[in-house]
Each structure stands twice: as C-alpha cells, then as structure tokens.
C-alpha cells in the first residue's frame, strides 16, 4: 500500500544554535528523504529555506519536512531557537504528537531550554532529549545530564552513552546491560505500581521487554524523558534516536472517522503571492471543495506528504499535516471544522517591546500597511497598531526580530523602513474588583441586549467565565450556550486591548454575571425588537469599561532576567553597566577565571546591555536573557493614546458607532 497508516508529528525544539536544523537534515538524509546532506553553514539545508535564514545561518520560521522510519510517516517541524522567534514555537506546540529537545553537549541547559521544557510539560507533549555536538571540543555529557536533572527538573533516562567525546571520532554505545537494567527499574517503578509489585515479588521476571514497554508508556505520559547522545554533524547516535522516535513516542494510527477537526499552525505566501495554510488534522478528513467551517472559503487545493514528498491530493486525513490553498481569510492558530472559532491560547510570554515603523519614502505608507498586514497573517503577535498620530507601531520580542522584519520588507516588498525608538509594551492589571450592568430598555442603554460583567485580578493571563442561566441567552442568535460564551469572550478580549491607561489589560478574570435579550413578542423581556449579536458586541465595551473603571488598574512593566558570563577582570565594568540600566543583581558566582552575574532589569534595557557588552568585557562577555514577568511601574503611570473611542466617554463612543467610524473587530 502506498499510503502509510501510521504518523508521528514531531517538533524539534531547542535553544538557539543547539543544532535543530542540522539534526533535521541528518534525520532526513539517514531516512533517505534527501539524497545529499546540506549544511547550515553553507546555507544548503532543506528546512532553512528562506533567503534570510540561509544568509544569517539561523532559523526564523518553523518549517515542515517528512521522512519515513519503518512503517511510520514522521512529519518533522524544525523550529527557531532564538527567543525573538518564540511565537513560531508557540504556534506549533499544539499540533505535536511528540518532540525532540536538543541540548548542546558543550553549552548545556540554557534559560531558553527551561522555557521550552516548561511549555512541553504543561501541554504534556512526550519528549525525547538529544544531547548534541558530542564531537565538539568541551563536550561534557555528564555535566549536561546533571544540568537536565537539576535545572529542567525532569526524570531523565539515558539510553546511550558517548565514547571519545570532544573529538571528531566521538561515537555512541549502549550502556552496560546490568547497570542499565537497574537504572531503568529505578526510573520507572515510581510511575507504575504493577511494575513495582512485580519487581518486589520476583526481580528476575521484570524482563528488558517489559521495561521497554513501561518506558514507552511513561514517556507518553511525560513522566520520564529518554535521553540520547550524539552528533547531528557526524551522524553519531542519530540511528538510535530514530529508533526511539518510533518505539517510544505515541505514533497515531490514521483514523479518519469522526468529525473534521484540525488546526492551522503556519501560513505562508506561495510563489504567486497566494495564501497557503498548513493544517494538522486531529480527526475526520478535509476534502478539496469543503469549507473549513460554515462561513469560510472553500478549499481549492490540498498537498500532503507521501513518503517524504509533498504531493497534490484531494483529501487530508486525521493524523496528517497538509497544505491548503484557497483560504483567503484563514488565520494562523485557527481551529477548523468548528463554526465558532475558539480563542487562540498562547504558551509563552507575549512580546514586551513596541516600535514605531515608517517607510523611508513617505508615499509607501499605504504599501507598508498592506505589507505589514501580510506579515501579521503569518505572525499575529506583531499586532500592528495605527497610532493616533497616523504612524504604525509593531509589537516585538527583540532586536533580531526587528532586523528580520526590516530585511523582509526590503526584500519581499521593496519597502525601506526605519524603526523609531523601541519602548516597553506595558500592561495593565486590575487593582480590585469592579462590576457593572446594563439592563434592557433603560435610558442609558441604546442596545437590545442586557449584560452584567465583573472584573477582578487573576494570577496569570486572561480568563472569561459565564455565570448566567441558559434562559437568559438568545439561542436564536447563538447556536448554544458555548457559542454564546466564546462570542462574549471575544468581545471582552477585543475591549481589553486598551485599558484605562491605553495598555492591554491582562491577568484578569471577567465573569458575565447577567444577561438578557429582547424578542419581538413578549417574555422573557418586554416587547421590543429582536436582539442581535451586534447588540451584545456593541454593549460589551460600555459595560466592561465601566466595571474596569470601578476596579481600577495599575500599569506594569515587562522585566527580564539577564545572565552575563565574562572574565572576572570585567566584573566592575559589568556591574557598572547593570546599575546604569536599573538592574538588580541577584547572584554572582566565580569559577576559575570566569564570573557569572545574574540580574533582573526592565526588558527594554536588555538591548542596551547587548550593545555595550563587547566594549565592557573586551569582547568576552555573553548575555542570556529571559522574560521575568511584570512589575508595577513606580511613579506616574505611562499612558498610551487610544486608537479607538473610549467607551467611558459614552456620547463619543455611541457617536463613533453610529458613524461606523471605527470597526469593533
């Protein structure tokens, strides 16, 4: 049969430069999916296919390739490791059956490795760890293993060992059987009572095959993390890793019964500028000429992987990744098969910076706006804003992303741009609890809907809850109460983009406490025109901003945790530089001639550290930074001018609505 029945959608994740793309290339080569092996350093790998990726030698966009191991079709998603491109990882996390986390045998566990592992754990993505670069000088597998146990706090189970590490002849061997057997038992009994009892009753009856099966089960439950060592460059240890992919990760049978459900995880523009959407199907099948949900465009073309290569087909089935054509309005992160599009959940911190962007030639302003709109399709977190001044502003993770946007606009759209200063992207948090309500037919409420909302602080992120009775929901407008809830959640989210000081409101729980609607003839409301979805949508900002006003908000600044490694002789100048950026130093540790300094500072100051580091450390310093949450701003809160009329100014809001001066979406 030409179509394999089992698939594995595999993410390759790691810290920048750990060797993800090199490993992907190696796996593709070993499995025969490519005839010659490319190199990142020569710009010839399959997955770093963008011009900019090849020139810079880093991955910017996630890319999909496919290979076959035994009878399993493995779709590999090679992701970028640079923290500026974390949004790319975010989008693929939800479509993975398993992952390989690459850790360099030389650099070891990095802050970004921890960020990634936490997200993989939260989503319970079964993960194998590959300790790469054992051929490089300085490789220290034992130290990396200790780092994995200690800093990643996962139960690591080493399945292969390195011989001659740190040399070009580095190779891998299986561990000595007796010691390996007892190490496996020790790692697995905690998570498996039956295994524990069998072992206590008669240790000899716990066979290697039984342990192997238990290892696969506990790997799929993310209780343990099998570890392989090797070199993506020389190919050492990669065959064992490939064996582990299909024997330890949960390979899915292709089963296309059930309703059509999938998720769009990547959007790109084809050679003619047409939109191409990548979908991972979870159940059912999607065919050419189907709609992805009730009011969407029709799919005009589908490509799927067959034996490692994209081929045009009429259908994409559960378990598969496919490319879809014809969906002009589809958005990345969107779930397909459902009419009501669920809100996209993010697994990492949002961008912490914003920068105003302007074309060098003023007449390209409209072209720039259109080009940015296309970039936002691929990366919604860029979140382009039209400032009240008419300028455009984008949200950013960092300087490298900014350079990539600039280079992309120049190369693909022929637009030269300049970025104005980069400033922090503050957020607002509710200070207390606030509640507001509008009832039907009251003087203050021009809409045919009634809403009560309560706003209160929440520990992390945004949550919406519906606390109303079925009877109070207009089920002739929304199909069911869940659809009403997700519509209301969407209206609330849109409103919270601009809080009392103009910044997005986060870390808050919004509860809908009352609801009512009017129908043409009698109860439950007094006679009146039929409520529509627009009534609920337009009334939400009025009620919500009132509740927010009563709760009060305070503005918070994004912080970064920075770690600087340098020579001890640079200590004074590094500390001086940190003090100038308002950083609080937490720890200093000296090892031989090296010092490692850890500090926390406003995220907006990290770029300045990066810029000044070479001069301050005579070129020896290395800076690592990760997001460290938000802290209340001291003193006068910064204000961002709103781009939409403030619903707290009711006449202005209503006037703008009736004039349709701004879209609510």
Q: What is the spatial distance between Cα 418 and Cα 362, in angstroms, rounded to a whole number?
A: 11
- Selected from 73, 127, 132, 378, the binder of ligand GTP by CB under 6 A is 132
**Contact set for ligand GTP, span 64-93 (CB under 6 A):** 80-82
Do strands 508-517 and 462-466 pair parallel, antiparallel, or not at all (unpaired)?
parallel
Q: Is residue 506 close enough to count as binding ligand GTP by CB under 6 A?
A: no
Please choose, out of 27-35, 51-59, 123-131, 305-313, the segment that lies near Mg ion by the rule CB under 5 A: 51-59
For residue 280, the partner it binds in ligand GTP, Mg ion, none, with Cβ less than 5 to 8 A by kind, is none
Residue number, 129 or 184, with CB nearest to Mg ion: 129
Q: Determine the 3-state secondary structure of 219 from DSSP.
A: helix
For residue 499, the partner it binds in Mg ion, ligand GTP, none, with Cβ less than 5 to 8 A by kind, is none
To ligand GTP, the closest distance from the beta carbon of 175 in angstroms equals: 21
Residue number, 63 or 206, with CB nearest to ligand GTP: 63
For residue 131, the partner it binds in Mg ion, ligand GTP, none, with Cβ less than 5 to 8 A by kind, is none
* Tokens 């923290």 found at: 83
DSSP string, 184-232: HHHHHHTT-HHHHHHHHH-GGGS-HHHHHHHHHHHHHTTS-EEEEE--T
- Selected from 25, 27, 33, 59, the binder of Mg ion by CB under 5 A is 59
List beta partners, residue 515. Answer: 451
Distances (CA, A) of 174 to 91, 160, 227, 228: 36, 5, 12, 10
Is 157:215 a contact under the CB 8 Å cutoff?
Answer: yes
Q: Is residue 232 close enough to count as binding ligand GTP by CB under 6 A?
A: yes
Both tokens of 103, joined, read 């850790």
Q: What share of the chain is helix, strand, coil (3-state, %, to 5)?
A: 30, 30, 40
Classify residue 344 by its DSSP letter: P
To ligand GTP, the closest distance from the beta carbon of 15 in angstroms equals: 7
List beta partners, residue 342. Answer: none
To ligand GTP, the closest distance from the beta carbon of 410 in angstroms equals: 21
Distances (CA, A) of 639 to 101, 388, 428: 41, 13, 11
Element (H, E) at 263: strand 261-269
For residue 577, the partner it binds in ligand GTP, Mg ion, none, with Cβ less than 5 to 8 A by kind, is none
Q: Is residue 20 close enough to count as binding Mg ion by CB under 5 A?
A: yes
For residue 19, the partner it binds in Mg ion, ligand GTP, none, with Cβ less than 5 to 8 A by kind, is ligand GTP
Q: Is residue 18 close enough to count as binding ligand GTP by CB under 6 A?
A: yes
Q: Is residue 160 close enough to count as binding ligand GTP by CB under 6 A?
A: no
**Which residue, among 502, 451, 506, has the nearest Cα to 474 in the 3D structure?**
451
List beta partners, residue 602. Answer: 559
Classify residue 641 by its DSSP letter: -
| Residues in contact with ligand GTP, shown as a per-residue x/- string from 287 to 306 under the rule CB under 6 A | --------------------
**Contact set for Mg ion, span 398-437 (CB under 5 A):** none
Nearest-10 Cα torsion for 436, 441, 447, 449: 70
Please choose, out of 130-138, 344-352, 562-570, 612-620, the segment that lies near ligand GTP by the rule CB under 6 A: 130-138
- Selected from 10, 11, 19, 575, the binder of ligand GTP by CB under 6 A is 19
Residues that bind ligand GTP (CB under 6 A): 14, 16-22, 40-41, 58-59, 80-82, 132-133, 135-136, 231-233
């Amino acid at each position: 049969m030409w179509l394999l029945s089992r698939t594995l959608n595999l993410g390759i994740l790691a810290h920048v430069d750990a060797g993800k793309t090199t490993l992907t290339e190696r796996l593709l080569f070993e499995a025969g999916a490519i005839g010659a092996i490319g190199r990142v350093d020569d710009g010839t790998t399959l997955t770093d296919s963008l011009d900019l990726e090849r020139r810079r030698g880093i991955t910017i966009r996630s890319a999909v390739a496919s290979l076959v191991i035994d009878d399993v079709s493995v779709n590999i998603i090679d992701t970028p490791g640079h923290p500026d491109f974390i949004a790319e990882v975010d989008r693929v996390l939800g479509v993975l059956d398993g992952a390989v986390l690459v850790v360099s045998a030389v650099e070891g566990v990095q802050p970004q490795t921890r960020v990634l592992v936490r997200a993989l754990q939260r989503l319970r993505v079964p993960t194998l760890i590959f300790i790469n670069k054992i051929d490089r000088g300085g490789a220290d597998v034992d130290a990396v293993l200790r780092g994995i146990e200690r800093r990643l706090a996962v139960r690591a189970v080493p399945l292969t060992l390195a011989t001659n590490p740190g040399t070009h002849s580095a190779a891998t061997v299986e561990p000595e059987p007796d010691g390996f057997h007892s190490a496996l038992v020790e790692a697995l009994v905690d998570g498996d009572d039956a295994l524990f009892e069998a072992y206590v009753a008669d240790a000899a009856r716990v066979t290697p095959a039984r342990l192997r099966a238990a290892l696969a089960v506990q790997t799929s439950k993310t209780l343990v993390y099998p570890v392989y060592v090797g070199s993506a460059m020389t190919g050492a240890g990669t065959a064992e890793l490939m064996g582990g992919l299909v024997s330890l990760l949960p390979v899915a049978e292709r089963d296309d019964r059930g309703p059509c459900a999938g998720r769009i995880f990547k959007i790109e523009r084809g050679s003619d500028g047409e939109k191409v959407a990548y979908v991972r199907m979870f159940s059912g099948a999607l065919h050419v000429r189907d709609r992805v949900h009730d009011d969407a465009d029709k799919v005009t073309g589908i490509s799927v992987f067959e034996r490692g290569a994209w081929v045009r087909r009429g259908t994409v089935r559960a378990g598969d990744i496919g490319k879809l054509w014809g969906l002009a309005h589809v958005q990345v992160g969107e779930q397909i098969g459902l009419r009501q599009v669920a809100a996209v959940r993010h697994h990492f911190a949002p961008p912490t910076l914003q920068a105003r962007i302007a074309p060098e030639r003023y007449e390209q302003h409209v072209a720039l706006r259109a080009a940015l709109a296309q970039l936002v399709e691929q990366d919604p977190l860029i979140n382009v804003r039209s400032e009240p001044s008419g300028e455009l502003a984008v949200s950013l993770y960092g300087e490298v992303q900014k350079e990539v946007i600039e280079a992309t606009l120049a190369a693909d759209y022929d637009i030269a741009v300049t970025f104005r200063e980069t400033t922090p992207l503050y957020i607002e948090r509710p200070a207390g609890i606030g509640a507001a309500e509008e009832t039907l037919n009251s003087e203050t409420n021009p809409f045919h809907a009634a809403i009560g909302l309560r706003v209160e602080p929440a520990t992390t992120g945004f949550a919406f809850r519906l606390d109303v009775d079925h009877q109070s929901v207009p089920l002739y407008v929304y199909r069911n109460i869940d659809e009403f809830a997700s519509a209301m959640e969407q209206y609330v989210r849109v409103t919270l983009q601009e809080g009392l000081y103009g910044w997005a409101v986060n870390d808050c729980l919004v509860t809908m406490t009352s609801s009512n609607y009017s129908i043409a003839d009698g109860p439950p409301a007094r006679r009146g025109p039929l409520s529509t979805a627009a009534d609920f949508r337009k009334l939400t900002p009025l009620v919500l901003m009132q509740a927010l006003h009563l709760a009060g908000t305070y503005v918070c600044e994004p912080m970064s945790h920075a770690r600087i490694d340098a020579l001890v002789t640079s200590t004074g100048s590094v500390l001086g530089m940190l003090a100038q950026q308002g950083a609080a130093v937490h720890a200093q540790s000296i090892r031989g001639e090296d010092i490692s300094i850890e500090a926390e500072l406003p995220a907006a100051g990290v770029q300045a550290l990066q810029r000044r580091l070479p001069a301050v450390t005579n070129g020896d310093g290395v800076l690592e930074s990760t997001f460290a949450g938000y802290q209340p701003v001291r003193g006068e809160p910064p204000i961002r001018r709103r781009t939409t009329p403030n619903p707290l100014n009711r006449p202005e809001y209503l006037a703008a609505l009736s004039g349709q001066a701004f879209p609510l979406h």
